[in-house]
Amino acid sequence: MKQINLYKQNSSILILLGVLICSITVFSFSGTTYAKEYKDVNDENIYYKAINDFTQKGVLEGYLDGSFQPNKSISRAEALKVILKAFNKDLKPKVDAANLKKFSDVYSTDWFYEYIQPGVHYGIIEGYQDGTFKPANQVLFAEALKMGVATKGVKIEEIIFNDYHPSIKATDWFARYFSYGFQKMIIDLEPNGALNPIKEYTRGEFVDLIYRLSETPTEGVFDVSYNWDQDTINTGLTISYPLDWEKFNLGDGVFLAYFAGNKPSFITTVTNGARVSINYFQNSDNKLETEYFEDLKLRIQQKYPNSDIKFENESTKLGNALKINISAIGLINYYIYLEQNNILIAEGSYDFASLKASELVNEINLIFSKIGTESGLLLSPKQKLEVARINILVRGKGQEILDMFIQKELIETDTLGVGTGPVDYYYVAGINHTIKYERTTNTIWDIKESQTTAF
């Protein structure tokens, strides 16, 4: 297979001789801008989406100094207010006088007083056996989850316990709440795969949890890509990936990785982590889609003769794909059949022995399902050559044209030029042509077939 590149397009497209002509631009999609921003929560914060959405809806207000303090602990009183407002509960429900509940440490002058009876009415709070509410106590993970699930109206007795994690036992009072959280993809494990049900929750963690619960459909699971980064790399590829993953541009592709601890060599297995690489290749034999996928299956079976290989046909934004899953070694690959008989290969691997394996598998599949192009159109090598020819002697466009051809080789430089600046000669093996480029005016001077400097 011969590796090729895509030409990234922007909104200015000229159709000439059946060729797409456009400017090359590298940019990132930014997050939504809201009416109110906090000075300590930017779009790189994993709680940004939840905090700002809730702020826009009037659920959150923040502090007078313009901060939100997402890493500060959250009290039971604060948590109760957030939950009631997040789920838009009536703060004056009809309650019989006989059912009114009083706590010995709650007074009518307290700022949170109006939330107490609604909290009791909706089954969000119960208080302690000594008759107190303890409004200033910090909220624990398990408590936060119980409060949120109860407010959502999920019946605890209908939740089936599943042994998802060794930290959760069937006899734990919070076991079914965590089962619900895992089933609905509301809960994320810690980087090393750990889970601590009784850890003290921060304001950011709590708001994010309640946001996830409020956005989870009755049927189906929560969309974990709600706060992902979106980016477009220089080949025109658009990708989405979790905020806690790292991105590395490879010139003609992209490498993504999730590291649970110190960053290891990319060659070694990433403990508790995952890796993804995405590149374009040419279908040099010009095989039709069905034939290509059948041949691919045979090659994979020969490469992994003793493995349980699962082949699935997938539909992606770019075209039909063959998904290859070998869970015993932590491998997920997508081979996407593109236009012009090009192939996109998205390769994923993960630590299959990690407690985070199921999370990583879900994230890899979502990353692959969201791969696209800026305009949804691809250029073949022949089309790239036509675009380059049309831009001969167009000042200021030279570098943009050169950037289309990632696998170019600088074969000679005339440092003096002819009354101008240095002139470079680039040979592009994929199209068997040489491009003559003048640096000072950033111009393509000429293009000739074969590898040559005789212009």
Question: pLDDT per residue over 52-107, tens digit each?
Answer: 999 999 999 999 999 999 999 999 999 999 999 999 999 988 877 666 788 999 99
**Is residue 26 over pLDDT 50?**
no
Residue 288 vs residue 264, higher pLDDT: 288
| Residue 271's pLDDT band (cuts 50, 70, 90) | confident
CA distances from 351 to 241, 271, 275, 328 (A): 18, 6, 9, 10
Residue 279 vs residue 356, higher pLDDT: 356
Q: CA 208 to CA 214: how far, in whole Å?
A: 10
Residue 268 vs residue 92, higher pLDDT: 92
Q: Which residues are paired to 241 by β-bridges? A: 229
Q: What is the average per-residue pLDDT within 296-319?
A: 93
Domains in the chain, CATH or no CATH each: 2-15+233-373 (3.40.1000.10), 48-224 (no CATH), 381-449 (no CATH)
pTM summary value: 0.73
Q: CA 298 to CA 411: how far, in whole Å?
A: 40
Name the nearest CA neighbour of 203 among 107, 84, 115, 81. 81
Q: CA 120 to CA 101: how far, in whole Å?
A: 7
Alpha carbon 191 to its chain's center: 16
| Residue 295's pLDDT band (cuts 50, 70, 90) | very high
Whats the size of the chain, residue-wise? 455
